[in-house]
Amino acid sequence: MAKHIVIVEDDLDQRDNYQIALEQRGYRVTAYVGKQDAFIGLQQRPDLVILDIIMDNNIDAGFQLCVDLLKQHPQLPILFLTERVTEIDRILGLRMGAWDYQPKPVSLDFLAEKVATLLRLSDIRNLDGSQLTDEQIHQIGSLQLYNESRIARWCGHTIEDLTLTEFRMLEILTRRPGHIVNYDTLARSTQQHYVSNNTVSTHIRNIKRKIKKFDPAFNAIQSEYGMGYRWAMDG
């Protein structure tokens, strides 16, 4: 059965272009103009949602819809596609639980590849533990990284709501435990155009906070003032 993609975009030309491009690649696509219509139509969970942020003369409509949708469907893959590209907007979108955040304009080929990647990731994350083979797991002390599903576990506990950006940072930090990873390297791991040191630090704090929910003594990520971060050798 074809994957069901939902687009919420109030610009007619962009909405039609996205829909046609994805339908040509075999997806079933439903498009909505605004937040209210989309929320009513999304009682049944689709496979992925593409959201603009500014809609219906509401500068935060997409953010509001994201929160509402994730209350109903906590594991729903959401891709923000928007002209709002400030760092605070990116961070806010990812903190809400979006799987990715892309600026407009975007090529239709790139969009199709991004959708395909997120759908593959969603399918892998839906596998049960017995279907995740040892070859897919990278273990560093108490941390397990599932490289295909982008799932991370600490002491056997799944780190809930870990974003793709946060997973990439964990990958980078744990490649050479005990060595400093500088801010520039961590910024590049986000795969965004420009990321400040403050944004990197925000992502690191989020990772620590999510692990400390079930391990208050967690201290494997150590700050090196003015330089970056390191993963403790015994982490």
Query: Of 125, 147, 178, which marks where a domain is finished?
Result: 125
For tokens 């941390």, the residue is 143
For residue 235, give both structure tokens.
């982490």
Of the chain, the percentage scoring pLDDT greater than 70 comes to 91
In this structure, are 119 and 145 located in the same domain? no
Spatial distance between the Cα atoms of 60 and 15, rounded to a whole number of angstroms: 18
Instruction: Assess whether pLDDT exceeds 60 at residue 135.
Output: no
For residue 150, give both structure tokens.
């982008």
Spatial distance between the Cα atoms of 10 and 192, rounded to a whole number of angstroms: 25
In this structure, are 147 and 91 located in the same domain? no
Query: Of 78, 100, 125, which marks where a domain is finished?
Result: 125
In this structure, are 112 and 223 located in the same domain? no
**Chain length of the chain:** 235
The residue type found at 129 is G
131 vs 220, more confident: 220
* Count of the separate structural domains present in the chain: 2
Spatial distance between the Cα atoms of 165 and 202, rounded to a whole number of angstroms: 11
Laid out side by side, the sheet with 137-140 consists of 137-140, 143-146, 151-154, 157-158
The predicted pLDDT at position 218 comes to 94
Helix or strand holding residue 152 (H, E):
strand 151-154
149 vs 72, more confident: 72
For tokens 């709501």, the residue is 161
Residue-averaged pLDDT of the chain: 88
In this structure, are 120 and 146 located in the same domain? no
In this structure, are 90 and 185 located in the same domain? no
Residue 221 belongs to domain spanning? 130-231
In this structure, are 13 and 108 located in the same domain? yes
pLDDT one-digit tens code per residue, 91-109: 788 778 888 899 999 999 9
Phi, psi of 197 (to 5 degrees): -60, -35
In this structure, are 179 and 77 located in the same domain? no
Instruction: Give pTM, 2 decimals.
Output: 0.69
Residue 148 zone, left/alpha/beta (φ > 0; ψ -120 to 50; rest) = alpha
Range name among 5-14, 15-24, 180-189 with the lowest pLDDT average: 180-189
The contacts of residue 188 (CB under 8 Å, 6+ apart) are none
In this structure, are 206 and 104 located in the same domain? no
pLDDT grade for 64, boundaries at 50, 70 and 90: very high
